[in-house]
Amino acid sequence: MVKKYVGKPAKRIIEFIIGILAPLILLLIWQLAADNGWMNKSVLPSVKKVVETGIKITASGKLPGHLGASFERVLIGFAIGAGLGLILGILMGLSPFLHKFLSSLVNLLRPVPMIAWIPIFILWFGIGEITKVFVIALGSFWPVLLNTISGIKSVDTKLLEVTKVLNKNKITVLTKVILPGAIPSIFTGIRLGIGAAWSCVVAAEMIAATRGVGFMITYARETAKPGEVFVGVIIIGVIGLLIDLVVRRIEKRLLKWNTEPKS
Amino acid sequence: MKDERDNILQIKKVNKEFTIEGNTLQILKDINLDIKDGEFVSIVGASGCGKSTLLKMIIGLHSITGGEIVVAEGKNGNSATRIGIAFQEARLLPWFTVFENIEFGITKALSKAERKEQVERLIELVGLKGFEKAYPRQLSGGMQQRVSIARALVADPDILLLDEPFGALDALTRINMQNEILEIWKKKKKTMILVTHDIDEAIFLSDKIVVLSSRPGEIKRIVEVKDSRPRDRSSSNFVYVKKKIFKEFFDETDIDVEYYI
Ligand SMILES: Nc1ncnc2c1ncn2[C@@H]1O[C@H](COP(=O)(O)OP(=O)(O)O)[C@@H](O)[C@H]1O
Ligand SMILES: [Mg+2]
């Protein structure tokens, strides 16, 4: 018991160090490459330059402005896509008929890459906000839909027998047995969906936007500001990571029954 | 020595077949069994002979291929005889605590305070005080099984079906639980049908022991035990009955239907 108390934080620190080692090595190689002029400065700015640029455009409000625009789109698009994915997923998971009826359509549309939808949405909705929100919604729709279906379908039939024996009504069965059982799978879908939403917003903004991180990167490249390009790319990665962390936290809270240590 | 109590459950010429990939398999054949109100009946038989299947047919989870199962009308103002079951596996909801799992067994509309009182009473009964907030995965197999029994008991069924409920327990806890079940049975005057492969357990608890054969499951013999309870596991009659039942398993030719001691 005592050993466990001493061992735990130490183990955490070691795990943390191992975890950040690879990014640090990459950073080191990058700095070496810039210092020794292995690559042209206009192609690969130094780490220092990128950090300075990052601070500068954060202070001036430029980066927060673009980030805010992207966030808003992600939030709206994800809410729509994940919401629809969740509802349709539950329905398709519960109804074998609906599942049979829609699964060929789903399997036909799902492999189409998001990038390929953008021209179609531009044709339909123009270059406005609707196109971008639509792309994000569709991007987050698929993972949520598929994981919700599989979560609902994998319900333990032995637990369903328990509800039958106890004369539980359909709503109780759904809310107390089927949905809780599907939540781990639904969360996987939500994590993948948010990730997809975040990549979609950048893709959409690179093609058609005047604001947002994607636009900032494209515009910086066109105006020969490699520092800003790198800041943009790094911030996309960092935010993707943070979102994932937050969702995992929430998941852990909600799934206490699945994660709490055994006694 | 005729028993004048009413039959609460009658199993009449029941057959059960399962069809797996076009092959029809007879699992149970010509099962005839009358169970009296308040009787403690055990079913013993080799694994796979259809004991769980029989319980599932009684509670309506499996269809009956042939024959019928008649359940008596409800008593004490209940419209129907209520049947509860503790499955062979604990089958707890992993996302519910011990308290919530037992509460899930309540089938009547009760106030929150009444629910709490009932659940607490059962937690006490099955010896899980202090574990109200634990999740199933934090419990040992035996503790999970006790939660499962508590969930079946909380609805206060007239007939309680127990499918090898003590299989996951160590020898000592097992004997404790047998005593507790006996207490509940005595106090509540419930009808209990216990599936077990532990012959000692069956003799210790039952009025009537149904010995099933395998493939297809048929009733080989029904042994009545009339000794007063609590029974002494080393008494000469206890050992005698045990030998009788053992003989059934190793002597397939004897097909007497009833045997009185
Ligand atoms: N739903 C089912 N479909 C097909 N076969 C089944 C099903 N349930 C049980 N069986 C078969 O019926 C036989 C009896 O099973 P069971 O009643 O669980 O045996 P026991 O409880 O006596 O060990 C077994 O051979 C089992 O494989
Ligand atoms: Mg069984």
User: What does the pLDDT look like over A46-84, one tens digit per residue?
Assistant: 888 888 888 998 899 889 999 999 999 999 999 999 999
Q: Which of B8, B3, B4, B5 is nearest to B159 (CA)?
A: B8
What kind and span of H or E run contains A133?
Answer: helix A129-153
Ligand 1 neighbours, Cβ below 6 Å, are B 18, 20, 27, 45, 47-53
Residues in chain B: 261
- Residue B94: per-residue pLDDT: 93
- Residue A37: per-residue pLDDT: 79
- Residue A7: per-residue pLDDT: 64
Ligand 1 atom closest to B47 (CA): 23
User: What does the pLDDT look like over A123-179, one tens digit per residue?
Assistant: 998 888 888 899 999 999 999 999 999 999 999 999 999 999 998 999 999 999 999
In angstroms, what separates the C-alpha of A179 from chain B's closest C-alpha?
A: 11
Decide: A181 and A154 in contact? Cβ < 8 Å: yes
User: Which CATH class name applies to A56-259?
Assistant: mainly alpha
Residue A86 is encoded by which pair of tokens?
């969740």
Ligand 1 atom closest to B212 (CA): 22
Decide: A85 and A140 in contact? Cβ < 8 Å: yes
Residue B170 is encoded by which pair of tokens?
């160590």
| A·B CB contacts under 8 A | 50
Mean pLDDT of B65-81: 78
> Hey, of A174, A178, A253, A257, which one would you mutate to test binding to chain B, going by the most B CBs within 10 A of its CB?
A257
In angstroms, what separates the C-alpha of A261 from chain B's closest C-alpha?
A: 7
Residue B99 DSSP code: H
User: What does the pLDDT look like over B26-59, one tens digit per residue?
Assistant: 888 888 889 998 899 999 988 888 899 999 999 9
Residue corresponding to tokens 């699964």? A103
> A201 φ, ψ to 5°?
-65, -40
Residues of A in contact with B53 (CB under 8 A): none
- Residue B254: per-residue pLDDT: 47
Query: Residues in chain B whose beta carbon is closer than 8 A to a beta carbon of chain A?
Result: 59-61, 84-85, 87, 89, 91, 93-96, 104-105, 107, 134-139, 155
Ligand 1 atom closest to B49 (CA): 22
Find the residue in B nearest to A180 (Cα).
Answer: B95
Give domain limits for chain A: 56-259
- Residue B259: per-residue pLDDT: 45
Residue B240 has pLDDT above 80, yes or no: yes
**Given ligand 1 and candidates B20, B21, B52, which is best to mutate, with the most ligand atoms within 8 Å of its CB?**
B52
Diameter of chain A measured on Cα atoms: 75
What kind and span of H or E run contains B8?
Answer: strand B7-20
